[in-house]
Amino acid sequence: MLSLETMAQLDTLAVENFREYLRIPSVHPNINYDDCVKFLDKQAKSLDLPMKIYYIDRKKPIVIFTWKGSDPFLPTILLNSHMDVVPAFSDQWTYPPFSAHLDEKGNIFARGSQDMKCVGIQYLEAIRRLQLKEQRPKRTVHVSFVPEEEIGGVLGMKDFTQTNDFKSLHVGFALDEGVANPTNSFYVFNGERSIWHVHVHCPGSPGHGSMLLDDNAGEKIRIIIDKFMDFRAEQKSKLSNSNSRLGDVTSINLTKIYGGVQTNVIPNNITAVFDIRLDPEVNHDDFESMLQKWCQEAGKNVHFTFEEKNRFVPSTKLDNSNPYWIAFKKCCDEQNINLDIGIFPGGTDSRYIRDLGIPALGFSPMNNTKILLHDHDEHLNKDVFIRGIQIYEEIIKAISNV
C-alpha cells in the first residue's frame, strides 16, 4: 500500500508527464516524431523498461515498451496508443492547442488530450504504480506508441501487424482507444464499422454549356447522390429509436464533388466521393452489389472505385470464450464501473489487430466528460485523467494475470 504522500507525488508526476507529452506538436501533416521518441525514451528509463523502435517507414517509428511477465511463454497483452494528432486551428481555441494549459477547474487544454495521448500516459503511470507495489504480471505486457493512426495507420499498425516483429510479440489480447462518455458510465467497444471511401465516377458527353445533351454527367451525378442520400436518410431514421446508436447503423456522407473545367463547358466527368461506415451486421458483398445496381440505374458507364475498402472483421466476443473479457468485466464490476458496450462508430488501430483473430477492446477511461476529439478546445480534466490511471492499474493487473 502506497502512502498518501507517495500517491500525491505520483499524481503530480503523471500530470506533468501528460502535459509534457501534449506539448509535443505531433500534428499532421508531415509529422516529425523525434521529440515523441525522446520523451518516450525518458519514460522507459524512468520505469526501467526496455524500449524498442521498429520502422515500416524510416520517418514513422513504432515504439514498444516491454514489461516482462513471470511466464514469458504465455500470449502477451498489448496496450496500444497512437502518437499523432489531427490539426488544430489555434484561432478557434481559448488557449494555444499545444500549450497543455491547466485552468482553474483542472481542465488541461491541448490537441490529443482526449485522442489519445491521455491513454498512452495512463498505461505507463499505471505500470509505475504497479511496480512500486512490487506487482509483476504473469503475462508479458507490451505498450505500443504508433504513428499515422489519424490517417489510416497504413505505415503504422496496419503494416506492422504483417511483420515478423509483430508476430514475435505473441499478442493474445489488446486494449486500444475508446472515447469519452458524457454520463457517469464508461464506453467500451468490441468492434468497429468497416470503412469504405468510395469515388463514384459519372462520365458524360462534353459540350457547350448552352446545350441540352443526352448522356449528361450532371444528370447522372444527381441520381447517384439521391440514391446515397435516400439510403442515408433510412439509416438516420433508425437512430430515432432510443436503443440504436451510431455504431449500430451504416453511415454515408457526401464529402467531395469534383469535375468540370469551365463554367460554360459541360464536363465529361463528375465524381462524387462518399465516406461510408458499414454496420458490422451488413453483408459486404450484398452492399457492393447494391452500389453497382445504383450505378447501372444512374446511366451509361457510371462506376465506382475505392480509396479505402476495409474488409469485414468480426467483433471481439464478449462471452465465456474470451477469458480476457471476463477478467476485464469482473475488474470493472469490482470498481463499480458501469460499462456502456457498443460498436465504435469511427475507426481505430484495433481493426488491424482483430483482423488477425486477436481479441481487442476499445476503452478510454473518461466519464462525465464531453466528447471533444478532433474538436476545438479539446481538453480533459486532471481528476478524470488521474482516475483513469487508477482504473487502468486494476485492469492491467487483471488481464495480465489471466
State the catalytic residues. 84, 149
CA distances from 15 to 12, 338, 389, 391 (A): 5, 25, 11, 16
CA quadruple 328, 333, 334, 335: dihedral positive or negative?
positive
Instruction: Return the C-alpha cell found at 241.
Output: 429509436
3-class state of residue 316 by DSSP: coil
Interatomic CA distance for residues 343 and 255, integer angstroms = 23
Residue written as cell 499545444? 98
Q: What DSSP line would sit under 46-106, residue for residue?
A: HHT--EEEEEEETTEEEEEEEE--S-TTSPEEEEEEE--B----GGGSSS-TTS-EE-TTS
Q: Where are the beta strands (DSSP E) in 151-268?
A: 171-176, 186-192, 194-203, 207-208, 251-259, 265-266
182 Cβ neighbours under 8 A, 6+ residues apart: 368, 369, 370, 371
Long-range CB contacts for residues 209-213, cutoff 8 Å, separation at least 24: 209/263, 209/264, 209/265, 209/266, 210/264, 211/266, 213/266
Residue written as cell 464533388? 257
Most distant pair of Cα atoms in the chain: their distance? 83
Q: Where are the beta strands (DSSP E) in 238-315?
A: 251-259, 265-266, 269-278, 303-309
